[in-house]
Structure 1
Amino acid sequence: MLRASALEIPELDLREMGTMIQSRVVVEVSGQVQSLLDSLETTTLEIAVTGESGAGKSTFINALLGLNDGDHRAALTGVIETTTSPTPYQHPHLPNVRLWDLPGTGTPCFQAEKYLRQVGFESYDFFIIVASERFRQNHAELARAVGAMGKRFYFVRSKVDQDLRASQRRRPARFQEVQVLREIEADCIHQLRNEGLASPKVFLVSSFELHKFDFQRLQDTLADELEGHKRHALLLSFPSVTAAAVQKKKDSLHRHIWKKALLACFVSALPGLPIHLNIPMLMRTLLSYHRSFGLDDESLGALAVTASKPHRELKDQVCSALGKDLSENTVQAILSQAAVYGQVAARLVKNKVPLLDNLVAGGVSFVAAYYLLHTALDSFAQDAQRVLGRAYELEDEVQGSLCYPPEPGFIYD
């Protein structure tokens, strides 16, 4: 018979066994979380923009990309048709998002089905059909063919800023902007219904003033009708030109904070790995947030040109610590501050269950990383609203987006 003492396992062996089990679990779960993030970040979004020559397709594409016409990455613009074959324009910060400038549709022998086959209709997630004056038979024919092939389509009535100025010159005493916009929309819907479309979706847009008119409604509609990761890609790719757009972008990014925080947790939970290995991953995430809200110098410069404001004046509206100094030192300071919140609980757990030393360290890292990313999203969103307020002289945005520290209960949001 074996004596009881022979069945006793030394405490050192127990620790080694616990460490081995923890390491295997951490590696497996971290791999699954990384796979989720890879799927999110590699999702493609292909947007087709079409319409007749001179409708402003290329200018609209550049506005969506946040690029000025003179940028070497921008779509070519001009008074004559410059697009003879489908031309992709990659988003400046999101390589998996592309807008396609399709050849014009206004030829006498236009045939929608043939046109769609030529441009490879199956490649696109949806179609935006642009017109600057009237929607014609070609537009309706194209929309019907797109719908018959299982794709969504949306009508954008461009250059409404020019229509408003012309209307004001014609009837200065009776001019009412809201009334003119209603008349333009009603006329567009009437034109398309006359061509046999029952419920056309029409959005009035100015590519030079995206913060006005129906651009936000267009973005909301597109987001509502896209699913999962493609919806996230759309929200990140479209420029944040209204407070509503900033909030939607923030909400979409916030849903995925826990995945980044878990990765930080797993690095700290693996024995022998230094905690500072989290910093490069967190820096990449913060830089992507910073660009998404248009706070990088390139985006601020493009907005300054569009809004005719000095670049320095817009940059001065960025008042958060991370917005002004997105450096490893600043990140490390915030992480250290957040880690203090978990130290007391960590010591208690370690004293009770010594085998969980590494997992407790990972838990503290999770809290710290979550706090950092949550704080960054809040502060970047506030900075973005202040920048927009100054760019477009929106006093409510400037005064209503002061920089406040996050609430203590942030982790339960």
Structure 2
Amino acid sequence: MEGASSRDQRAETSNLLKDETVESSNSTFFTDEELAKLKSDYDMGGVEKVKTVVQQKVTQLDNTELNVAVTGQTGAGKSSFINAMRGLEFDDEGAAEVDTVETTMEPTGYKHPSLPNVCFWDLPGIGTNKFPANKYLNKMKFKSYDFFIIISACRFTENDTKLAREIKRLGKNFYFVRSKIDCDLYSKRKRGRQCNEEEELNKIRNDCVSKLQEAGIPSPRVYLISNFDLNLYDFSLLNKALEDGLPNIKKSVYILALPNVSLEILEKKRKELRKRIWMSATLSGGIGAVPVPGVSLAFDSVIIIKEIVHFRQCLGLDNSSLQSLAKRVGKPVEDLKAVVTTPLVRGEITPDVINRLAWGATAVAASAIELALDTIPVIGSIFGAGSSFFFTYKLLSAALDDLTESAQKVAMAAFGTENNPNQTSVQ
């Protein structure tokens, strides 16, 4: 039979949930309806009922796919763009084939090296004899893709605009990308002319926009990029547009798949990964009184290890990602590894490593009996006094902060900004 104190605690929890629901719904992967169900399930069945719902959401997150279609004329830089977005060089294993002639005869998928649920699709150029414009989308399996990127290296063609209109008619988003901007600026300088970069970029952008408007595309947005310097020009604006055009979960998947070319991207990744922590903490075990120093900790090391490995991959700190980055920037991988300060990157994450980290966390957190509710999503108020939740949440939060800090140092060492740690764009 439930005691009075337990009923009082449950009533207090319900009140906290009501206060937090509006704010928390903006920082989780749950809809308002799902948050209401979490509260209802907890009221009726306690933690075990809630854990079932949370596990279903984690499974959904892990299985969500993102398919990006990249199309354009021959030589526009489609393959180079796909490789750059995956953090690969043209001669890396699994890289999209780069050539000056049309090498893509069928839609070819290239999975992200660390996040296999993310796939970039290299589509044949529209308007060829094999792929006439009026049959293109059907042959390309239009419904398979979350959005389209239409790339041009000079000017957008009539076929590009036809494709854009058809994509819009069928209810998908498309984005015009003008590539090889670095080549345009280099050519301008090579001819011995004075080059105001900002004016030149505006001229190129305005010319593309006006031509697209003449072809019947109202209010087009054109993003100028270099496939070899993704941190420059309009890449951040393109990312913002792509993020805003995706539903919440797919937006998160896209952000985590971005190449680590700026400190801004790494900070975005930290925020996205933090959203998962409370769910992992919820699944780590039952609830109980917050332990004091000297009392054994209760958490699921398997869940914690899985999340830390996921953090490392998303932040580009696994060995394969570090090797690829070192090759891309032409520096020894040892130089990049030398700036990593967290032991979570060195070697395998084992239960012993987790235990050492956990006991370190108790020294910091022993006096913090209640979690800061303004930093935890709605479910945090349910488990504020739970030992497993408490320590898993604190441990994963600390691990994520340590890994993000090391990822930032690696990015600065790779791109030569060691002396400017406050810079948000790694150049």
TM bucket (normalised to shorter chain) is: 0.7 to 0.9
Q: Please tell me the residue identity of whatever aligns with 1:282.
A: I
Structure 1 counterpart of 2:314, from 270, 280, 292: 292
What is the distance in 1 between the residues matched to 2:230 and 2:91?
Answer: 18
The one-letter code sitting in structure 1 at the alignment partner of 2:229 is E
1:67 aligns with 2:95: no
Partners in 2 of 1:56 and 1:254 — Cα distance? Answer: 35
Change over 3 Å in CA distance of 1:153–1:400 after alignment to 2: closer
3-state SS, counterpart of residue 212 of structure 1: coil
* 2-structure distance, mates of 1:293, 1:344: 31
Distance 1:288 1:362 in 2: 27
Measured after TM superposition, the shift of residue 41 of structure 1 is 1.3
Give distance in 2, aligned partners of 1:268 and 1:65.
Answer: 44
Q: Which residue of 1 aligns with 2:101?
A: 80
Number of the residue aligned with 2:221: 201
CA deviation vs aligned residue, 1:40-62 (integer Å, no higher than 9, x gap): 11111111000011111011111
Separation (CA, whole Å) in 2 of partners of 1:276 and 1:363:
10
Q: Mean alpha-carbon deviation: is it higher for 367-376 or for 326-335?
A: 326-335
- Pick from 395, 402, 418: which aligns with 1:372? 395
Distance 1:344 1:171 in 2: 67
- Deviation of 1:324 after TM superposition, in Å, equals 4.2
Q: Superposition pairs for residues 298-309 of structure 1, below 5 Å?
A: 298-309=320-331
**Per-residue deviation, 1:65:** 1.2
One-letter identity of the residue aligned with 1:180:
E
The root-mean-square deviation of aligned C-alpha atoms, in Å, is 2.8
Question: Residue 344 of structure 1: CA displacement?
Answer: 7.2
Distance 1:368 1:92 in 2: 32
Q: Deviations over 1:44-101 (max 9, x none)?
A: 1111000011111011111111122222322111111110011111111222211111
One of 354, 360, 382 as aligned partner of 1:331: 354
Q: Is the 8 A contact 2:79 2:98 kept in 1?
A: yes
SS in structure 1 of the partner of residue 219 of structure 2: coil
Task: Find the aligned partners of 1:368 and 1:277 in 2 and give their Cα distance.
Answer: 7
What's the counterpart of residue 56 of structure 1?
Answer: 77
Contact 1:294 1:384 in 2 (8 A): yes
Deviation per CA, 1:309-339, whole angstroms, max 9, x where unpaired? Answer: 2222222221234344663233221112224
**CA deviation digits over 1:11-66, x for unaligned, max 9?**
xxxxxxxxxxxxx7443322221111111111111110000111110111111111
Aligned letter for 1:261? Answer: A
Q: 1:83 to 1:307 in 2, by over 3 A?
A: same
Distance in 1 (CA, whole Å) between partners of 2:186 and 2:340 is 34
**1:87 and 1:164 mapped to 2: Cα distance?**
31
The 1:98/1:325 distance shift into structure 2, 3 A limit, reads same
Whole-Å separation in 1 of the counterparts to 2:182 and 2:245: 27
TM-score if structure 2 supplies the norm length? 0.78
Q: Tell me which of 177, 190, 196 is aligned to 1:156.
A: 177
Give the Å deviation of 1:395: 4.0
2-side partners of 1:190 and 1:344: how far apart?
63
| 1:97–1:237 CA contact under 8 A, matched in 2 | yes
For 1:175-254, what aligned pairs fall within 5 Å after superposition?
175-254=195-274
Alignment of 1:255-334 (within 5 A): 255-266=275-286, 278-324=300-346, 327-328=349-350, 329-334=352-357
Structure 1: gaps spanning 5 or more residues: 1-8, 10-23, 347-358, 402-413
* Aligned residue number for residue 14 of structure 2: none
Code of the residue aligned with 1:178 in structure 2: it is E
- Residue 206 of structure 2 aligns with an amino acid whose one-letter code is A
Instruction: Describe the shift of the 1:175–1:322 C-alpha distance in structure 2 as closer, same or farther (beyond 3 A).
Output: same
* Distance of 2:306 and 2:150 partners within structure 1: 36
Quick check: 1:304–1:391 contact (8 Å CA) kept in 2?
Answer: yes
Report deviation, 1:245: 0.9
> Which of 51, 56, 60 matches 1:39?
60
Task: Note the C-alpha offset of 1:292.
Answer: 0.6
Contact 2:287 2:389 in 1 (8 A): no
Deviations 1:155-204 (A, max 9, x none): 111111111111111134x1222222222211211221121111112111
Larger radius of gyration: 1
Residues in 2 aligned to 1:333 and 1:399: alpha-carbon distance in whole angstroms: 31
Amino acid at match of 1:212: L
Q: One-letter code of the match for 2:285?
A: C
- Once residues 345 and 189 of structure 1 are traced to their aligned partners in structure 2, the CA distance between those partners, rounded to angstroms, is 56
Structure number with higher helix proportion? 1
SS of 2:164's equivalent in the other structure is helix
User: Partner residue of 2:116?
Assistant: 95
- Taking only the aligned residue pairs, the percentage that are identical comes to 38
The aligned runs of 1:336-355 (5 Å cut-off) are 336-339=359-362
- SS of the aligned residue for 1:138 comes to helix
Question: What does residue 104 of structure 1 align with?
Answer: 125
1:126-151 CA distance string (max 9 Å, x none): 00001111111111111001000100
Matches of 1:326 and 1:396 in 2, distance apart? 31
Report the equivalent of 1:121. Answer: 142
2:165 aligns with 144
Between 1 and 2, higher relative CO (CA 8 Å, sep ≥ 6) is seen in 2
Query: 1:266, 1:362 within 8 Å by CA — same for their partners in 2?
Result: no
Alpha-carbon deviation of 1:343?
6.0
